[in-house]
Amino acid sequence: MKQSVGSDRISARRRYDLLLGGFIIAVMTLIVIAGCSGGGGTGASGNGHENHDTGSLETEVYYKTASFEVMPEFLKNHTQLTNDLYQAVARYEYIVSRLNCYCGCMGGDDPHDSLFRCYVAGQDADGVTWTDHSAHCGICKQELVTVMELADQGKSFEEIEAAIESMYNPDYTPEEV
């Protein structure tokens, strides 16, 4: 009989651990999804991301490295996921340099011209100039995660672009066929 009580306690402890783990994962997922959403206001893009209006782009931190293999110092203060995405962005440059970002950064006085620009401000013979914009924005990160997953599944650029549009563009309306 004592073994039954003991195994019930272990089972209850295991259930508690699983519930706690699930709760933590759910909260972390919400944080990533919420990303850069401000207080629910409307940003430059009109999609509720007020901290990506024209003023916030002036607060971007830039860091130059010799190449894509050398990561910027500002990533030391960020999650492993953020570090992994910055390390991967060069591999998917041919896609993300042609995709829009939907966090609101493409509007204003100094707009980003693509999702790639949310990670890399520029590149030249002297190296890569990184921006910390995406490090603070869940939408930019989630878009790149989506691109990586679809590209790794062998999807074409057109298929990836359509998926990004349907998932992240607040003004998206499916074309009638």
What's the rounded mean pLDDT across residues 75-82? 96
CA 171-172-174 angle, 5° bins: 150
Note if the pTM is more than 0.85: no
Beta bridge partners of 65: 128
**How confident is the model over 121-168, as pLDDT tens digits?**
999 999 999 999 999 999 999 999 999 999 999 999 999 999 999 999
Secondary structure, 3-state, the chain: CHHHHHHHHHHHHHHHHHHHHHHHHHHHHHHHHHCCCCCCCCCCCCCCCHHHCHHHHCCCCEEEECCCCCCCHHHHHCCHHHHHHHHHHHHHHHHHCCCCCCCCCCCCCCCCCCCHHHCEEEEECCEEEEECCHHHCHHHHHHHHHHHHHHHCCCCHHHHHHHHHHHHCCCCCCCCC
Q: Are strands 120-124 and 62-65 parallel, antiparallel or unpaired?
A: unpaired
Domain coordinates of the chain in residue numbers?
50-168
Proportion of the chain above pLDDT 90, given as a percent: 54
123 class by beta-carbon count within 10 Å (0-12 exposed, 13-18 middle, 19+ buried): middle
Tokens coding 123:
């590149």
Tokens coding 20:
């706690």
**How confident is the model over 24-77, as pLDDT tens digits?**
666 565 555 555 444 333 333 344 444 444 344 558 899 999 999 999 999 999
Signed CA dihedral, 57, 58, 60, 62: sign only: positive
